[in-house]
Structure 1
């Protein structure tokens, strides 16, 4: 074979490999390589605020510690551009902050996040913003950590949602032996709240959802909720990162007692060779202004050496289903 033909053959092979890789990637495939040498973005939370979409996510520092919260913006929910970073500022955040939750109330963005790197002492904090980029911390931070013999006292992965004329705070915690991750819940007394520490009441002295199914292993975390009719639906992550982590679905009529809708994951990890082979995890359910629903999530194919954020459109017709699946 002459050099010309060999060059054509090599070029075709490279092109085929590039096309195959592109086909594996979803339309939305976002990560943050501005801090670390590798692309890493985790724990997505999406809102619509002042005419554009904002996505908050976790990103590590250069030493893979000292996590902060990245902010990206979009006008189509697919193409995202980084718009800012929330760095550790207060003393209680000195080891890092991450796992954002967010909602819009009274024309301001309310951000709920966890401290990081403090083990059993990690707790939920709150901040507010007029523009979605620059935040003022709540003076009562940390606003919540659980109590009781059922928990080690840690609270992470905050999700705050309005339901039945008050706000529910869902959080992940661990058992006293620090082995099993599970869901707990607190709530405010009414919708008229500043989300200060003294306004939260822990509603149960036990987990509201803990791992029971084989694929959930020893972890249920990262709850994200949305109301449909009289039900509050919870998408949650089962299994620790890359075990693989997969996404399950449960529902409740009171926000406290939950029933799984299937013994199988709603969104499993990808097949071997796909971009999310190692996991589909840490979900965020989002209703867009056009009334379409999207499930945002994190994934990777290299056991966590990189992390990307993506989404799938979901439909609700007497139940949730993945669009096109």
Structure 2
């Protein structure tokens, strides 16, 4: 291999592993450690101890039949929200996580990060778990894990894609579930009091029906991956419509109480890219992040090869009298 080609390969690997920022508006991140290609999904970002932490799903090692080799959660760190360096992983631990864990959602409370995530590979029995960290990298599990799965004849008992926010006098847990036929993916919500340890017994399901289900053609048979932000007295939900690569795109809904939601449009808020672009197959699984200066950024996953690889990027979101809009 020529020296020039070698340097090109090294540079390419660095770009996809750690992200690239030729200016402050460009981000592209992909963890290559497990499959040799960028593969990072389900981003969630928090600011903690004057640093940014991004939690994301990473796949099993390809071709490895080790029973501990399931889906896991990657951890990356940044000082500017654009250049990211991987700093750790959260691996399956315990019987309920034996087949894997993924789709993290993080919440900073005082001097700790609370991580909510799902088990993987158990179909109807997948559920939401909880863990806590004082450094953002090493986590201790909740002894009551799994802490939540839904009940009622409108769902199959499955819970994935956790998002927890503080709103008024409760913590609200948003989750995706499916109908009893395991065909339609939809959103539900539960609540815990402010003095909670997020244990299993603290959660109360708030509805006997989905709070958001597929409605428009672009949403297909799936509404999932809700990410919530509060602006004044209203909550805005950025959600994923349609299953992966259908294409999945990002929708937007608003609520005054966190339970009853109204879509702001019959079209995606963030669509998949044009043919030939990096996210032509989807722009999915959003996370809306508000920085300490009040600026907000929509993180999302995408690919152009129908799921053989996955990268994470972001776009800034501006706020107007009529609601949010993309800066670009």
TM-score, scaled to structure 1? 0.91
Which position in structure 2 is the counterpart of 1:48?
47
Whole-angstrom CA distance in 1 between matches of 2:80 and 2:232: 27
Can you give the 5+ residue segments of structure 1 that lack an aligned partner in the other structure? 1-21
Which position in structure 1 is the counterpart of 2:29?
30
Where do residues 224-303 of structure 1 align in structure 2 (5 Å cutoff)?
224-303=227-306
CA offsets per residue over residues 216-249 of structure 1, 9 Å max, x none? 0000000000001111110000000000000000
Which position in structure 1 is the counterpart of 2:66?
none
Does residue 78 of structure 2 align to residue 79 of structure 1?
no
| Number of equivalenced pairs | 300
Which position in structure 1 is the counterpart of 2:182?
178
Counterpart among 136, 140, 143 of residue 136 in structure 1: 140
Q: Which has the larger radius of gyration?
A: 1
Does residue 48 of structure 2 align to residue 58 of structure 1?
no
CA-CA distance at 1:94 after TM superposition: 0.5
CA offsets per residue over residues 133-192 of structure 1, 9 Å max, x none? 00000000000000110001000000000111210000000000000000000001x211
- SS of residue paired to 2:259: coil
Does residue 224 of structure 2 align to residue 214 of structure 1?
no
- SS of residue paired to 1:198: helix
CA-CA distance at 1:72 after TM superposition: 0.2
- SS of residue paired to 2:277: coil
Runs ≥4 in structure 1, deviation > 4 angstroms? none
Whole-angstrom CA distance in 2 between matches of 1:38 and 1:131: 29
- SS of residue paired to 2:305: coil
CA-CA distance at 1:91 after TM superposition: 1.4
CA-CA distance at 1:291 after TM superposition: 1.3
Whole-angstrom CA distance in 2 between matches of 1:300 and 1:61: 18
- SS of residue paired to 1:98: strand
RMSD of the TM alignment (CA)?
1.3
CA-CA distance at 1:200 after TM superposition: 0.2
Whole-angstrom CA distance in 1 between matches of 2:267 and 2:317: 17
CA offsets per residue over residues 60-111 of structure 1, 9 Å max, x none? 0113871000000000000000010000012110100000000001210000
CA-CA distance at 1:37 after TM superposition: 2.1
Which position in structure 2 is the counterpart of 1:107?
111
Whole-angstrom CA distance in 1 between matches of 2:239 and 2:38: 24
Does residue 193 of structure 2 align to residue 194 of structure 1?
no
TM-score, scaled to structure 2? 0.90
Whole-angstrom CA distance in 2 between matches of 1:322 and 1:165: 31
- SS of residue paired to 1:232: strand
